[in-house]
Amino acid sequence: MRRATTAILALLAVLLAVIIAVNSPLPVINAQYGDIILHFAADRAWSLFPGDCVTLEWRVDGIESLHIEGRGEIGWGKKAFCPQVNNSAARFEVRSPDGLYRKFKLRIHFLPDLLLYLAGFFGVIGSLGLAVYCLRANQPQSRLPWRGLLIGAALLIVLGAAIWLAPVNLPLIDYADEQVRLRYWAKKSSLLFPRECLAAHWSVVGAESLSFNGDDVFAIDDRHSQGRYCIEFGGAPTLTLQTADGATSSHSLPVDMLLPGAGESAFIAFQTLGLALAGVVFLPLLVQAAQAAWRARKWRDLCALAGCLAITLLLYLPFGFDAAAHWEVWVNGASAQGLSGVKHRGEEVSRFFALMPHILATLLDSDSFIGFNLVHFALHFGKMAAFYLILRQLGARALLAFLTAVLCFAYPVNSGLMSLRSLPLNHSVFWLLVGLCLLLDWLRNPRRHSLLGVLLALLFNVASNESGYALILVLPALWWLRGEYSRRLRLAATVLWYLPAVFKVAWLLLLELTSRPAYTQGGLSVGENGLGAAADTLGWVYQLTFLDGWREAITSLADNYWLLPTLLGLALVAGLARTLARDDAPAQPATYRQIGGVLLGGLLLIIAAVGVLMWFDIYRDDAWRMFFYVPMGAAVTIICLLRLLVAKIRDQRARDYVLIEMCLLLLLPALSRLFVQHAVTIAAADRKARILHG
């Protein structure tokens, strides 16, 4: 029955596609402006694949010049036009004898564009719908309702195609009187998001002066100019003309706005909503987990987590929680307080939860940076605790999980770990670890509350930063390589794990295809020989992870004026580790093959940790953004190497004690480097703060 339903839906989709293609009118533009006559047309409405070109035809009369796709042409003729992805409209630019400039676009339906749009549309709506269904059903072992899913997918495809193929009437004003002629247009008909902007274009003949939204426009001799209009300005993009005799006329483009006047406040409200959701969903989960651990008398785990908290606190005590921050944090902090004139980086639509920690910090203390330091402290502890719990759920002994988590936190590879400017990245890493921890818990005990936590945590991760995408891609190997779960349960966990990332990728695709803002900073390019450059970057990452980083850590011992708290941290780790080793029940020692397999997994995890950023020129050789996920794989690798070195010791307690001593030798320079880095970061921020204060 399922096959019959699939076949019928596929047949209907093909039939619908044929009907749409056959009945699509041929693209044509006919216009007349006095003595100017314009005719532009194409011989086909559809181009099916890259390289499938259409033939453009034009006849114009009474003009001064004509450019087609930027190239000058005579008044009649034909030429081939080959649509490309996100560039499927042929551009005609006409200048009349009086100097007025007009631009026309002849839209060609390009099948790859439609398919990409459908992928984005289906990805956004479909992932949300599937997440709601999974939360409602919460039955990972049951069969999916394939017939309903297929019908829903077909309806989404039809709806998406209808939206994409619907004609778009862009804002356009053609105005002429006895003295002035105006062509005024924009490339978008609507503004949907906070801080979204559009470029308003105009060509004017006969005006003495003009202003755009109240600002005078100079150098109008060019006769073709543009202005930037953003949704927070309110009103509409308005051009005011004044003639030589003093007469004025105003012209406003009809632009639809979802949230007129929405700016920083709408973005901050959305971040605050995310923060409230986090409190409602995760605080009860945290309380339930603590109560369960207490009732089950999991004293070793509670002691290990308390040790993680103490180590993090020890790193902050010499410096306090009122240290100043770098300018990015000043800007984002001011944005969180809604101060006028403060601009965020323009990533509100693509990284819509990036400032959640800044909102929380502002709520804690809006008059200083104490709130920011407290939130950063909590993120450091939260990452270490979540990583420990993940290792425990994967079967690691408490001792090994604790040492690995501490080494991961202190691993000498990230040059910006202690800087407050890394708040969004630490925030993103934290939520990925929380999501993984909750998913492993859900695999053992499928609860709806845990599932909601998984989806929300991963959404916070991908909606804060994209650098963990490659890691998200490979982490399902953790449950696929373990035989304790059924195939259907592992498949359900994988689908759920990917849903937030699919939603974000589809969202970015839709933004790109609809000319919406995604990343206003720009500069994301692979560059020439992208594969070779990525390989070089990967080699540099391994060199810094296993050689240069440790060399820097050892060198930091000579500059460490906080040797006492460093030694206290080592003593704390040593005491807790010895306690965990003493209380651990005898266990069968891991084989060389098992340890080697985990070691190889740690090395491969480093590739996934930089698997996104290593492709982009702007992030190569970036010694802090590149390394936020690297310590996880690196710490696992180092612990496995140490376990191989002590594997020949037969007595478990003696083997554990030797392992602890070797870890302490590594943690001494690693913790020293963290104290030095913290001090250097605060000193640099203080110098910049003095400049900002004047």
Tokens (6 digits) for 165: 């193929």
Q: Which of 222-236, 334-348, 537-551 has the highest mean pLDDT?
A: 537-551
Please state the rounded mean pLDDT for residues 56-82.
Answer: 93
pLDDT at 19 over 50: yes
For residue 432, the model assigns a pLDDT of 97
Please state the rounded mean pLDDT for residues 101-110.
Answer: 92
Q: Which of 139-148, 219-228, 440-449, 524-533 has the highest mean pLDDT?
A: 440-449
pLDDT at 14 over 50: yes
Contact 123, 505 (CB under 8 A): yes
**pTM, whole model, 2 decimals?**
0.89
* Ordered domains of the chain (ranges, CATH): 1-167 (2.60.40.10), 172-257 (2.60.40.10), 264-693 (no CATH)
pLDDT at 502 over 60: yes
Confidence tier at 219 by pLDDT (50, 70, 90): low
Kindly report the backbone phi and psi dihedral angles of residue 201, in degrees, each rounded to the nearest multiple of 5, phi listed first: -110, 150
Please state the rounded mean pLDDT for residues 574-603.
Answer: 89
Please state the rounded mean pLDDT for residues 628-648.
Answer: 95
- The single-letter DSSP state of residue 84 is B
d(CA 112, CA 118): 10
pLDDT at 342 over 50: no
For residue 402, the model assigns a pLDDT of 97
Pairing of strands 28-33, 36-42: antiparallel
pLDDT at 509 over 80: yes
Q: Which of 233-247, 455-469, 528-542 has the highest mean pLDDT?
A: 455-469
262-271, 492-501, 565-574 — which is least confidently predicted? 262-271
List residues bridging with 225 in a β-sheet: 202
Please provide the average confidence, as pLDDT, over all residues in the chain. Answer: 86
Q: Give the closest residue to 502 by CA, choosing from 161, 125, 112.
A: 125
pLDDT at 484 over 90: no
Exposed, middle or buried by CB within 10 Å (0-12, 13-18, 19+), for 683? exposed
185-194, 379-388, 398-407, 645-654 — which is least confidently predicted? 185-194
355-369, 391-405, 515-529 — which is least confidently predicted? 515-529
pLDDT at 337 over 80: no
For residue 266, the model assigns a pLDDT of 72
| Complete DSSP assignment for 170-222 | --EEEEE-SS-EEEEEES-SEE-STT-EEEEEEEEES-SEEEETTEEE--GGG
What order of strands is seen across the sheet that includes strand 89-95? 71-72, 65-68, 89-95, 101-107
The separation between the first and the last C-alpha atoms of the chain, rounded to the nearest angstrom, is 75
pLDDT at 525 over 60: no
For residue 260, the model assigns a pLDDT of 66
Residue with token string 């990284």: 351
For residue 209, the model assigns a pLDDT of 86
pLDDT at 492 over 80: yes
Within a 13 Å sphere around the CA of 93, how many CA atoms are in the beta-carbon half? 10
49-58, 75-84, 297-306, 333-342 — which is least confidently predicted? 333-342
pLDDT at 119 over 50: yes
For residue 340, the model assigns a pLDDT of 44
Residue with token string 């619908």: 16
- The single-letter DSSP state of residue 258 is S
Please state the rounded mean pLDDT for residues 507-536.
Answer: 71
| Complete DSSP assignment for 12-68 | HHHHHHHHHHHHPPPPEEEEEETTEEEEEEES-SEE-STT--EEEEEEEES-SEEEE
pLDDT at 471 over 70: yes
pLDDT at 336 over 90: no
Q: Please, where are the H alpha helices in 544-591? A: 549-556, 563-583
Kindly report the backbone phi and psi dihedral angles of residue 680, in degrees, each rounded to the nearest multiple of 5, phi listed first: -65, -40
Residue 131 corresponds to which amino acid? A
For residue 339, the model assigns a pLDDT of 44
pLDDT at 343 over 50: no
For residue 262, the model assigns a pLDDT of 58
For 579, residues 6+ apart whose C-beta sits below 8 A from its C-beta are 303
Q: Which of 132-141, 253-262, 640-649 has the highest mean pLDDT?
A: 640-649
For residue 545, the model assigns a pLDDT of 95
Pairing of strands 109-110, 46-47: parallel
Cα angle for residues 145, 148, 154 (degrees, 5° grid)? 135
Please state the rounded mean pLDDT for residues 96-108.
Answer: 91
* Residue 195 Ramachandran class (φ > 0 left, ψ -120 to 50 alpha, else beta): left
Contact 610, 349 (CB under 8 A): no
For residue 574, the model assigns a pLDDT of 96
Residues making up the chain, counted from first to last: 694
Please state the rounded mean pLDDT for residues 195-214.
Answer: 87
Contact 393, 450 (CB under 8 A): no
Per-residue pLDDT tens over the stretch 418-433: 888 888 899 999 999 9
Please state the rounded mean pLDDT for residues 548-552.
Answer: 95
% of the chain with per-residue pLDDT over 90 = 53
d(CA 206, CA 212): 17
Please state the rounded mean pLDDT for residues 551-578.
Answer: 93
| Complete DSSP assignment for 493-547 | HHHHHHHHHHHHHHHHHHHHHTT--S-TT------TTHHHHHHHHHHHHHHIIII
Buried b (16+ CB within 10 A) or exposed e, 464-502: bbbbbbbbbeebbebbeeeeebeeebbebbbbbbbbbbb
pLDDT at 526 over 60: no
Please state the rounded mean pLDDT for residues 80-94.
Answer: 92
d(CA 553, CA 674): 9
Cα angle for residues 476, 480, 484 (degrees, 5° grid)? 125
d(CA 471, CA 491): 18
